[in-house]
Amino acid sequence: MRTILITGSSGYLGSFLVPYLKKKNYDVLEFDIGFFKNCHLYKDRNEKTIYKDVRNITKLDLKNIDVIVHLAGIANDPLNNYSSKSVYDPTKKYTLELAQKAKKLGIKFIFASSCSVYGATNNKLLLSESSDTNPQTGYSLNKLQIEQHLEKIAGKNFFPICLRFATIFGVSKRIRFDIVINMLVGMAITTKKIILNSNGDAWRPHLYIKDACSAIEAAIKYKKNKNDDKILILNIGRDDNNLKVIDIAKKIRKAVKGSQIVFLQKNKISTNSNLIVDRKIKSGKDTRTYKVSFYKMRKKFVNYNCIYTFQRGITEMIKELKELKLNKKIFYNKKFYRLQYLEYLHKKNQQIIS
């Protein structure tokens, strides 16, 4: 049995990944700074989180660890009036420090990156791991910079794996409703209005949360071969889950009876909440648009495949949210919106940036 240390274990993905790996009989050590420890959609009595800043992880903490899955980081932007540099440079620094510790101790290092590094493209081609990157936000640039730094320190005895996840969706104990599919499904169920911040023309790849977790397990099991470079970077997702936002909205409208699509800019509607307004979209157009190829993932992870189509994923998600009795009060709670909740913690004088 392998021992896995997960940083950011109390985040959206981490909260799903921990029980997933435990069910697979992995020994899991859960580390989290604790910003979102009270942000439950539902509770799990089996959670055994060690609330500790990644920067304070010691060699003793890493004793007998086989694999580090590094999920910890700031997962949205912009934060208040902070510059991207002040927000993201600390995450870059502590990631590289943790990676250096892993290298010295011979621990496998898996980094949660993002397909958002591709940024703005013409959408004519599916982008591969060798395609040009064009990050549009501080978050995306941070992911790319960390990949580049990991490549610099990689070597014969240190083989980092960077998983460029498509946009993850699905129900988690600490769900995020600030992610496009989760938000649109939540709106449809609770208000019957699917409100779009943009014109919906932007393309994105999407990934069901269960497939994200099984991809991490595939990375845990992966063994470097002679054809690999010194670092492995993989896009994680399904080719047929590359979808326009407007097409996602139409499919959700069909899945949730009685719901309708409303354009925020065109209809000049009042949402009564700043939670669902995307600050990165200007004048109704989203510059972040890209379609991604997952061929390399299928080639490298020969016993793994993303099994959830978009339709299968939202069908399961809608069923789960209805069983959890999702309503407006729950959906519009700021604890399910990472940016706004971090700003709330900041106002309470909790140290977010340092």
Q: Say if CB 174 and CB 105 are below 8 A apart.
A: no
Cβ-Cβ contacts under 8 Å for 60 (sequence gap 6 or more): none
For residue 129, being part of any structural domain is answered with yes
Quote the number of domains for the chain: 1
What phi and psi values does residue 244 have, to the nearest 5 degrees? -75, 145
Tell me which of 199 and 72 has the higher pLDDT: 72
Q: 354 pLDDT exceeds 90?
A: no
Task: Give the pLDDT confidence of 297-311 residue by residue, as tens digits.
Answer: 999 999 999 999 999
For residue 278, being part of any structural domain is answered with no
CA distance 87 to 110: 22
Q: 145 pLDDT exceeds 90?
A: yes
Q: How far is CA 118 from CA 136, 242, 306, in A?
A: 8, 13, 21
pTM of the complete model: 0.94
Task: Identify the helix (H) or strand (E) that includes residue 203.
Answer: strand 203-208
Looking at residue 246, its pLDDT comes to 96
What phi and psi values does residue 215 have, to the nearest 5 degrees? -70, -40
Looking at residue 135, its pLDDT comes to 92
The neighbouring-strand residues paired with 193 are 260
Give the pLDDT band of residue 349 (cuts 50, 70, 90). Answer: low
Tell me which residue has tokens 């859960």.
30
Cβ-Cβ contacts under 8 Å for 157 (sequence gap 6 or more): 103, 106
Q: 230 pLDDT exceeds 90?
A: yes
For residue 123, being part of any structural domain is answered with yes
Q: 99 pLDDT exceeds 70?
A: yes
Cis peptide before 78 (omega within 30 of 0): yes
Q: 96 pLDDT exceeds 80?
A: yes
CA distance 163 to 67: 14
| Domain of residue 81, CATH code | 3.40.50.720
Dihedral sign from CA coordinates of 273, 75, 163, 119: positive
For residue 348, being part of any structural domain is answered with no
For residue 274, being part of any structural domain is answered with no
- 135-164: average pLDDT: 95
Q: Say if CB 100 and CB 36 are below 8 A apart.
A: no
Please give the mean pLDDT across all residues of the chain.
91
Task: Give the pLDDT confidence of 260-273 residue by residue, as tens digits.
Answer: 999 976 655 555 56
Please classify residue 325 by burial: count the beta carbons closer than 10 Å to its beta carbon, then call 0-12 exposed, 13-18 middle and 19+ buried.
Answer: exposed
Owning domain of residue 140: 3-176+203-244+288-319
For residue 151, being part of any structural domain is answered with yes
Give the pLDDT band of residue 156 (cuts 50, 70, 90). Answer: confident
For residue 217, being part of any structural domain is answered with yes
Give the pLDDT band of residue 283 (cuts 50, 70, 90). Answer: low
For residue 252, being part of any structural domain is answered with no
Q: 133 pLDDT exceeds 70?
A: yes
